[in-house]
Amino acid sequence: MDIIAEIEELKKKRRAIILAHNYQRPEVQDIADFVGDSLELAREAVDVDASVIVFCGVMFMAEMATILNPDKVVLIPDNSAGCPLADTITPSDVRKLRKEHEGVPVVAYVNTTASVKAEADICCTSANSVEVVQSLESDEVIFVPDRNLGIYTQKNSDKHLIIWEGACGVHVGISKEDLLIMKRMHPNAKIVVHPECNPEVMDMADAIASTGGMVKYVRECDAQEFIIGTEMGHVYRLSRLFPDKKFYGLYNAVCNDMKKITLEKVRDSLKNMQYRVTVPDDIARKARRAIERMLALR
Ligand code: 13P
Ligand code: SF4
């Protein structure tokens, strides 16, 4: 039996649903029931009609699915798929920030561990960071852990942000020079970048958006060609959604953790019910409050 048929059969047997992030390998995106950005996946994970969720993404995303579905089994096909950006901050770092800035609310980007989310007042994704920050009464806001998303959010809001110095190596590796070369090769293409990119890269873009926001931008834009300043997996996603448009990615923009998930590991995950993602109850309860507060905004 081929591997795709095997996955389909196991999915039925386990009453499972497969969720995949936009950065997943093409073949993993193709077998998923739902593909999306972090916010879309968090929303999709609420009340899914299945007993098992196989989460094809990185650990912080699978943890969110677990927190939002305490009664379901959440599996990640490779439990070493982490996010180096999330690892730049610990719960005690957040507690220290709170002590240094008494009374200032904490916004945690979802690219954080569940125990960091548990220390936050509210979460945000790259799709809603401005809206989340604006929803707070305080003029000052602690924003963790992504520096560039913090700078972008501050620029587009009227708050003063106290920003943690974390960054995503994949996105800061996208240089202005790389994009200029691409633009010379494709002069009619629009440059679309993720807000985890460096400010000088954001400054030269036609649009700055989360991966889900990029889908919306391309759908509404008359242009036929786009240079995509985010992880390569999203170039496949966009090409599949818009087969008549052209997308140019940057070959160095690859997240090794996202690419750890393969079809074989998805099959083994369903076959052996591995690797179960769990979050201790007290952490899950506090983190859920911060995530649900974000989800309630829209
Ligand atoms: P999105 O929320 O835009 O999908 O991004 C998630 C991520 O990990 C960016 O590197
Ligand atoms: Fe984390 Fe960057 Fe990979 Fe996104 S692309 S999961 S922020 S390391």
Tens of pLDDT, residues 218-274: 999 999 999 999 999 999 999 999 999 999 999 999 999 999 999 999 999 999 999
Say how many Å lie between the first and final Cα of the chain, rounded.
44
Amino acid at 137: E
Closest ligand 2 atom to 146 CA: 7
Nearest CA to ligand 2 atom 8: 83
- The pTM of this model reads 0.97
Q: What is the reported pLDDT for 201?
A: 98
Measure 2 CA to ligand 1 centroid, in angstroms. Answer: 31
Instruction: Compute CA distances 157 → 136, 292, 294, whole Å.
Output: 11, 22, 17
pLDDT at 42 over 80: yes
Mean pLDDT over each residue of the chain, to the nearest integer? 97
Measure 43 CA to ligand 1 centroid, in angstroms. Answer: 14
Nearest CA to ligand 2 atom 6: 83
C-alpha to C-alpha distance for 260 and 221, rounded to whole angstroms: 33
Closest ligand 1 atom to 171 CA: 10
Measure 258 CA to ligand 2 centroid, in angstroms. Answer: 8
pLDDT at 146 over 80: yes
C-alpha to C-alpha distance for 130 and 148, rounded to whole angstroms: 13
Phi, psi at residue 247, to the nearest 5°?
-125, 135
Measure 83 CA to ligand 2 centroid, in angstroms. Answer: 5
- Tell me which of 216 and 39 has the higher pLDDT: 216
Q: Identify the band that residue 168 occupies on the pLDDT scale cut at 50, 70 and 90.
A: very high
C-alpha to C-alpha distance for 88 and 96, rounded to whole angstroms: 14
Measure 136 CA to ligand 2 centroid, in angstroms. Answer: 26
Closest ligand 2 atom to 168 CA: 2
pLDDT at 1 over 80: no
In 143-249, where does DSSP find H-type helix?
A: 147-155, 169-172, 176-185, 199-203, 211-220, 233-241
The predicted model gives 159-183 an average pLDDT of 98
Q: Identify the band that residue 46 occupies on the pLDDT scale cut at 50, 70 and 90.
A: confident
Amino acid at 49: D
Which two tokens mark 223? Answer: 């242009």
Which two tokens mark 79? Answer: 């439990």
Q: What are the pocket residues of ligand 2 if the criterion is a CB atom closer than 6 Å to any ligand atom? A: 58, 83-85, 111, 168, 170, 231, 255, 257-258
Which two tokens mark 44? Answer: 């999709």
- Residues in contact with 50: Cβ distance below 8 Å, sequence separation at least 6, in sequence order: 15, 16, 17, 72
Between strands 16-21 and 34-36, the pairing is: parallel
Structural domains present in the chain? 2-82+258-278 (3.40.50.10800), 86-168+283-295 (3.40.50.10800), 170-248 (3.40.50.10800)
Residue 37: nearest ligand to its CA? 1
pLDDT at 50 over 90: yes
Nearest CA to ligand 1 atom 4: 37
Measure 196 CA to ligand 1 centroid, in angstroms. Answer: 8
